[in-house]
């Protein structure tokens, strides 16, 4: 056995411990350190000077004391992976948090694996159907891409994320084996519990791994739990050669945890007081969530917007990695429109005729023209009322209103709250329905009839 680094704790500052090294052997970056005095103590090397090590405390800081002996393990953090963790809720270390017994840890992987080389990367020129009309029509998702749900508190990011997890896993599991990984980073404990119960009730939990590091955990754990979840997704892609759906709630909390750790280390802050290493830290996650020749990882990421300021440096840095940005608007949500997608700020890289097909592309272009006109007319309507519009403008205004209402949808995840049964609508049905509305053949039907229905035939509008 190789000799390991030895030392003792010099000081503790929040979630950072300063360790004085004794001897000539120094631990490696990210190496796990333990204490012979207490087997529950777990530290991770974060940075070092000539004589001292700065380590993140991954266990309870209350157990540490000055002079406590510390030894290296010669290894970074490894977690159990594979089918043994499917259907389970685990923490950063792979320990169960669902009271469902121990997990067989026959396969383990480091949470610090590197991004695949460029030669293995394969772009997937294919649209991934979500069953959610507004997303499939307005901001289509590319298989193997990165999708962000961006919005302030209480606009429905988590509901939308869990609805997607349910819909896509349910649809794809009928045709091929697909796995889902959910990373809870810095969010409420209640949401983790509700997610577990919802997935269990909808029978998609058996194909899902839930990795939790919620807001009650210290910053060091919240900062690393996302990497632990990425490791689960990589194993399914690389070893089982499967497609993977990766969900993270919330990416901004990951940024926030890194900022807390950086502050405790006393590093010089950058723009808007964020850590100077912000871009690098986000890329350690994003660069691993890519499609390869083995399979595709499609990631869906919630991004909290502090004070509804979308220009926040942390938010814009995350957005720079996204292929599809779905901005959720508080003003739209207040009108009772769900999902409350901001039609003007949201965007998708899959907006091309080749990917979407002729019919979808044509309908989307026509709707965008109507929407631009609708935005201008809305200002007039707000001031003088709809009656003052010309007959032609009134028809176009109402037609656009019908499509906006049609793009609302009852969710499976909110059935208990709304009393409306959730709907999955295939993309082809959505495009055909909107094409019919655009044709003007439904102009005589009130716009209210289009709210919270599935397809037009399900809503009783088309016989």
What confidence tens digit (pLDDT) does each residue in 54-84 have?
999 999 899 899 999 999 999 999 999 999 9
Q: Which residues pair with 112 in a beta bridge?
A: none
Q: E strands within 347-461?
A: 347-348
Q: What is the rounded distance in angstroms from the CA atom of residue 209 to the CA atom of residue 183?
A: 8
The answer to whether residue 301 scores a pLDDT higher than 80 is yes
The DSSP bridge pattern shows strands 69-72 and 108-110 to be unpaired
pTM: 0.91
Surface-to-core class of residue 18, CB atoms within 10 Å of its CB (0-12 exposed, 13-18 middle, 19+ buried): middle
pLDDT at residue number 1: 47
Q: Which CATH number fits domain 357-450: 3.30.420.40, 3.40.50.10140, 3.40.50.720, 1.10.1140.10?
A: 1.10.1140.10
Q: Count of residues for the chain?
A: 463
Residue 420 phi, psi dihedral angles, 5° rounding: -100, 135
Give the closest residue to 8 by CA, choosing from 53, 61, 73: 53
pLDDT at residue number 413: 85
Mean pLDDT of 99-116: 89
396 vs 272, 356, 391, 400, CA distance in Å?
44, 25, 9, 6
Q: Does residue 261 have a cis bond before it (omega within 30 degrees)?
A: no
Output 350 or 202, whichever has higher pLDDT. Answer: 350
C-alpha R_g of the chain: 25
Does 432 qualify as catalytic in the annotation? no
Which member of 88, 157, 423, 427 is catalytic?
A: 157
List pLDDT tens digits, range 382-429: 888 888 889 999 999 999 999 999 999 999 888 888 888 989 999 999
pLDDT at residue number 85: 94
Does 177 qualify as catalytic in the annotation? no
Place of tokens 């655009």: 438
CATH fold, domain 6-76, is Thrombin, subunit H (2.40.10)
Does 222 qualify as catalytic in the annotation? no
Mean pLDDT of 316-327: 95
Q: What is the rounded distance in angstroms from the CA atom of residue 322 to the CA atom of residue 324?
A: 6
Every domain of the chain and the residues it spans? 6-76, 79-352, 357-450
185: enclosing H helix or E strand: strand 178-185
Place of tokens 């796995």: 179
Measure the CA angle with vertex 211, ends 207 and 216; round to 5°: 150
Which member of 63, 188, 394, 449 is catalytic?
A: 188
Mean pLDDT of 317-335: 93
- 142 and 297 in contact (C-beta within 8 Å)? no
End-to-end CA distance of the chain: 76
Place of tokens 């869906």: 300
The domain made up of 79-352 is a member of CATH 3.40.50.300: yes
């Amino acid at each position: 056995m190789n000799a390991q680094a030895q030392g003792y704790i010099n000081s503790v500052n929040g979630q950072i411990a300063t360790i004085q090294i004794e001897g000539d052997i120094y631990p490696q970056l990210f190496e796990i350190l333990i204490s012979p005095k207490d087997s529950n103590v777990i530290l991770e090397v974060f940075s070092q000077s000539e004589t001292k090590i700065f380590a993140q405390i991954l266990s309870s800081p209350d157990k540490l004391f000055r002079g406590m002996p510390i030894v290296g393990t010669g290894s970074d953090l490894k977690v159990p992976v594979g089918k043994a963790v499917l259907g389970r809720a685990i923490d950063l270390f792979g320990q169960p948090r669902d009271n469902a017994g121990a997990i067989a840890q026959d396969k383990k992987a480091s949470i610090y694996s590197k991004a695949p080389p460029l030669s293995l990367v394969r772009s997937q020129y294919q649209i991934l159907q979500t069953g959610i009309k507004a997303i499939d029509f307005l901001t289509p998702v590319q298989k193997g891409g990165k999708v962000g749900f961006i919005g302030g508190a209480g606009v429905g990011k988590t509901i939308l994320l869990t609805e997607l997890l349910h819909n896509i896993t349910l649809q794809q599991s009928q045709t091929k084996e697909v796995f889902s990984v959910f990373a809870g980073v810095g969010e409420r404990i209640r949401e983790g519990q509700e997610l577990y119960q919802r997935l269990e009730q909808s029978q998609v939990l058996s194909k899902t791994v839930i990795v939790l590091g919620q807001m009650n955990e210290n910053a060091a754990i919240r900062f690393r739990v996302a990497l632990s979840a990425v490791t689960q997704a990589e194993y399914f892609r690389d070893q089982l050669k499967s497609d993977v759906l990766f969900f993270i709630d919330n990416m901004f909390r990951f940024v926030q945890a890194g900022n807390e750790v950086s502050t405790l280390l006393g590093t010089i802050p950058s723009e808007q007081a964020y850590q100077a290493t912000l871009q690098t830290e986000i890329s350690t996650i994003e660069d691993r969530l890519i499609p390869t020749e083995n399979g595709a990882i499609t990631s869906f990421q919630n991004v909290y917007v502090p004070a509804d300021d979308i220009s926040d440096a942390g938010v814009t840095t995350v957005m720079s990695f996204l292929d599809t940005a779905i901005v959720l608007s508080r003003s739209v949500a207040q009108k009772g429109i769900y999902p409350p997608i901001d039609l003007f700020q949201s965007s998708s890289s899959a907006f091309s005729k080749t990917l979407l097909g002729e019919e979808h592309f044509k309908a989307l272009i026509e709707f965008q023209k109507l929407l631009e006109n609708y935005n201008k007319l809305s200002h007039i309507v707000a001031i003088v009322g709809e009656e003052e519009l010309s007959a032609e403008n009134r028809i176009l205004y109402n037609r656009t209103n019908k499509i906006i209402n049609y793009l609302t949808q009852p969710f499976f995840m909110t059935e208990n709250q709304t009393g409306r049964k959730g709907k999955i609508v295939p993309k082809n049905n959505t495009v055909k329905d909107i094409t019919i509305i655009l044709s003007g053949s439904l102009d005589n039907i009130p716009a209210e009839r289009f709210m919270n229905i599935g397809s037009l035939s399900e809503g009783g509008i088309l016989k």
